[in-house]
Structure 1
Amino acid sequence: MTDLIAKVGNPVIAALASSYVGGIVSAFASTTGFLAAIIPLAAPILQDPTISSVGVVSAIAISSSIVDISPFSTNGALLLANVQGVKENVFFKQLLLSAVVVVALGPGLAWLAFVLIAG
């Protein structure tokens, strides 16, 4: 993955791709564990002096953590396990739909805010 990130000629686009990878993978995995793996993989972006390292790390971290509502993630699974007063399959579908929307929009918005605008 590090080689793929390094091959992208534009660090801004590489930061966007890393944010989406973080959001998609974290929807199915532990955010804390995934952040420990993705930040070192983003080293080629972080070494580029033309882009804010803090902005890239912030975008990746936010992209990875806002998707925790996914029913396949730890927090989403805890929500699903403790649902009361709603049918579990209905709540599962609502969580899944919310997660899809957040995965589709969240990383792009985090990248926009922390890499493009604040960077």
Structure 2
Amino acid sequence: MSVTAGKTSTDLDVRGRCQQWQKLASLLTRAAEQQDWDQLRKVDMAMRQRLEQAGRAQDPAEQHARRQLAEAHRLALHKVVSARDELAGRMNKLRQDKEGLSAYELTKLSGE
């Protein structure tokens, strides 16, 4: 095992993976807060790919970083669902308003 400044290469690998998970968590959070859905989709895809490649985390520090990533993902998903529901509500209201306006116009035309 190689040693670099008192750290083993395994320690450095774990630290690098932890930083990777923290960076992805930060990117997920930022994209969700900014409602940048395209960026959120890209980060989500990158996260999934990296998690598949990394396999199971053995180190407690990496497990902690992954739990933080999972929490960031859960919160981002909550923002997506909330935005979707809000948009669906607005679309439904527009549809109802349009139907009401059409009915009013028909009534107005039939009275002339």
Shorter-chain TM-score bucket reads 0.3 to 0.5
Scaled by the length of structure 1, what TM-score is found? 0.37
Higher relative contact order structure (alpha carbons within 8 Å, sequence separation ≥ 6): 1
* Structure exhibiting the larger radius of gyration computed from Cα positions: 2
Q: Which has the higher helix share?
A: 2
Scaled by the length of structure 2, what TM-score is found? 0.38
